[in-house]
Amino acid sequence: MSAPILDVQDLSIGFSGRRGQPALPIVRDVTFRIGRGERVGLVGESGCGKSVTGLSLMRLLPGTARIGGRITLDGVDMARASRNEVRRMRGKKIAMIFQEPMSALDPVFTVGEQIAEALRLHETLPRAEERARVIEALAEVGIPAPAKRHDEYPHQLSGGMRQRVMIAMALINRPDLIIADEPTTALDVTIQAQIMELLTRLSEETGTALLFITHDLGVVAETCQRMITMYAGEIVEDAPVDAALVSPLHPYTSGLLRSLPHFNKEKGRFAYIPGRVPAPLAMPEGCRFAPRCPHAVEVCGRPQELRFAGAERRVRCIRADELSLDGAVAEVPA
């Protein structure tokens, strides 16, 4: 991997409740790196801690959040940085594309003004040059008639255009890392494909690293170089995408892949993972996936550590070396 722009070590996140009560643990022992220009997919069911992890990287969690560990972004520990330093990093070094652009954009300001505000926080430019930069950013993300759209309000744009506005806002300062949290959830499949192609192309052209937070493993397979699987607030597998698709090492990753209808090998029978993600206060003592795992044995009741399984892979399963798990495909086409 190239030199990391982001280095997360032993990240834990909890939320404090009433006075005197301990923080409710949500994320535990999360460690990963993202290299410059790398595209990484963060996958897992709802409630596994993906979005909370992404928000913590931006320091956008509420005041009740308690963050432990280190989040080193370009040499700055975002978990310990002052508010002023975090503001300096946001937009310039790290940016985020949120799930629903209509709620992320302010309805009373034009889209041009909102993108310009992100630019204005880091650069002082003449108004004419500022406007030109914003229009250029809108054109870059494929918005037709960008000068016209610059002066329009979010409600005047389609869902696909609003999402492109969010991408333009994230890219306007050329950050080193963009976090895309379900960037295509509210869009139809045609627009989804366009948005993912756009993000991939911009990453390749500008060298911006991307962290995709998504449920769509097909998107990860097509656009990412690495896949990180989260379950119940922990990373359970971290592997190159091709390796994970062909031969996952963790039963949960295998279960996710086999649940995809277009990857399903069992004709006429839909594969699924029984049960649900455990609540934060009802986590199993050992492997958190054990109650749902068809391969669980007595030894799985012991604490599980995220360990290396070769030079490029990590897995949190004590039986990983002895299991032969189904992937999504028999082999990845050359």
Contact between 307 and 314 (Cβ < 8 Å): yes
Pairwise pLDDT comparison (93 vs 19), residue with the higher score? 93
pLDDT digit string, tens, across residues 181-203: 988 776 777 777 888 888 898 88
Distance CA 9, CA 183 (A): 26
CA 180 – CA 199 distance, rounded (Å)? 9
pLDDT band, very low/low/confident/very high, at 330 (cuts 50, 70, 90): low
Q: Which amino acid is at 118?
A: A
DSSP secondary structure letters along 286-298 = S-TTGGG-TT--G
What is the C-alpha to C-alpha distance for residues 238 and 40, in angstroms, rounded to an integer? 10
CA distance linking residue 44 with residue 56, whole number of Å: 17
Q: Which domains does the chain have, with CATH numbers?
A: 4-224 (3.40.50.300), 250-315 (no CATH)
CA 217 centroid distance within chain? 12
Q: How many angstroms separate the CA atoms of 155 and 165, rounded?
A: 12
> What pLDDT, in 10s, does the model give residues 92-148?
999 999 877 778 899 999 999 999 999 999 988 999 999 999 999 999 888 999 999
Give the pLDDT band of residue 267 (cuts 50, 70, 90).
low
pLDDT of amino acid 140: 87
pLDDT exceeds cutoff 80 at 28? yes
> Where residue 269 falls among pLDDT bands split at 50, 70, 90?
low
* Average pLDDT for 9-26: 86
Give the distance from CA 185 to its chain's centroid: 13
Of 48-52, 158-162, 266-270, 278-282, minimum mean pLDDT range:
266-270
Rg of the chain over all Cα atoms, to the nearest angstrom: 21
What is this structure's pTM? 0.91
Q: Within a 13 Å sphere around the CA of 33, how many CA atoms are in the beta-carbon half?
A: 13
Q: How far apart are CA 107 and CA 66, in angstroms?
A: 32
Angle between helices 159-171 and 189-206 (to 10 degrees): 10
Rounded CA gap, 303 and 52, in Å? 23
Would you state the pLDDT for residue 17?
A: 75
Q: What is the mean pLDDT of residues 153-165?
A: 90
| Residue reference for tokens 């996140």 | 13
Cα–Cα dist 130/127, whole Å: 5
Alpha-carbon 139 to chain mean position: 25
For residues 276 and 100, what is the distance between their CA atoms, to the nearest angstrom?
Answer: 25
The confidence band for 324, taking pLDDT boundaries of 50, 70 and 90, is: very high
Q: Quick: pLDDT tens for 223-259.
A: 999 999 999 999 999 999 999 999 999 999 999 998 8
Of residues 55, 58, 125, the one with CA closest to residue 91: 58
- pLDDT tier at 268, thresholds 50, 70, 90: low
Neighbours of 275 (CB within 10 A): 10
Judge contact between 169 and 118, C-beta under 8 A: yes
| Predicted pLDDT of residue 281 | 87
What pLDDT score does 266 carry? 53
Edge-first strand listing for the sheet containing 65-73: 24-35, 4-15, 65-73, 76-77
Mapped onto helix, strand or coil, the DSSP state of residue 170 is helix
- Are 3 and 33 contacting, i.e. CB atoms less than 8 angstroms apart? no
Distance CA 63, CA 15 (A): 9
Determine contact, residues 295/224, Cβ cutoff 8 Å.
Answer: no
Model pLDDT, residue 183:
82
Cβ–Cβ < 8 Å for 22, 34: no
Cβ atoms of residues 334 and 261 within 8 Å: no
| The total number of residues written for the chain in this structure | 334
Return the pLDDT at 332. Answer: 58
